[in-house]
Each structure stands twice: as structure tokens, then as C-alpha cells.
Amino acid sequence: MSLSRCSRSLLRSLVIPALVVVIASGTGLAQVPPRQYDTTLNQMLDAIQSKSYDRFAADGDARFRSGFTQKMFEELALRLGPRLQQGYSATFLTTLHQQDYMVYVWKLAFKDGKDDFLVTLFIKSGNVSGFITR
């Protein structure tokens, strides 16, 4: 069964724009975090590599500094620091708005080829309120 010229034209007018939308949504329209939070993440990752709790918590609010203890930081630096030192790339994934927080999520891929991590940075009133790795 063949389609009439009118049917083919109608089909093309519906399918081609739909394909363009699908392709565009998967590429080229990536989200970008505010530069200051991309910088904050990089500073925190550098602090983990150099085992500097003070630098890690520098942009944190009082609640973050009291909740993310020196001991927690040391465990994080022990687990993540050596892998960061071997090399990594951080790819921003998305922004979420959750309650009073802006939440920024990155993928960390390591040069050692082992498991990737997700890093989640919680921001409230311009300050770091949370930092989670998975």
C-alpha cells in the first residue's frame, strides 16, 4: 500500500520536526551551572586532594561546617583524594530546586577507569549547605 502525495507530505511535516526536537533535546541544550558553583566544586575537589579541611569548608555555611566534621572530611579525602590526584573530569548534569536549596549535580569520571561518582552540591543563600558523593 502506498501513501498518497498529500499523506507523505503530512507525514513529513509531522515527523521531521519531532525528530529535530528529539535530537536537540539530547544535544546542544545542556544545562550549565552558575560559574561560581562550578568554581566552588573545583575548589572543594582540590581541597580533598590536598587534604585541607579549611579550604574544603571555606564556602560552607555554619550548619555545613558543624555537620561535615573534620573526621568525615578525612574519610572522604582518604577514599577520594588518590583517585582525584590521578586525574578526573567533572561533567555538570543538572540543577534541581528542592525546598529552599538549589542542588547542582556533577558526574566525576576518573582516569583510573574505575567507577564514576555523582557529586551533589546543595546551595542555600549563596553558601554550600551540603556535599554528597555517591
Write down the residue that cell numbers 526536537 correspond to.
21
DSSP character for 58? T
**Domain edges within the chain:** 1-30, 32-133
Q: Which CATH class is domain 32-133?
A: alpha beta
* Orientation angle between helical segments 70-86 and 35-50, nearest 10 degrees: 100
Please tell me which residue, 17 or 96, carries the higher pLDDT value. 96
Which among 101, 102, 105, 103 has a CA at the least distance from the CA of 93?
A: 105
Per-position b or e across 58-75, b if 16+ CB within 10 A of its CB = ebbbeebbeebeeeebee
Which among 122, 117, 116 has a CA at the least distance from the CA of 133?
A: 117
Q: Average pLDDT of 12-36?
A: 53
91-131 pLDDT, tens per residue? Answer: 999 999 999 999 999 999 999 999 999 999 999 999 999 99
Q: With 60 as the cut, is the pLDDT of residue 75 above it?
A: yes
* Mean confidence (pLDDT) of the chain: 84
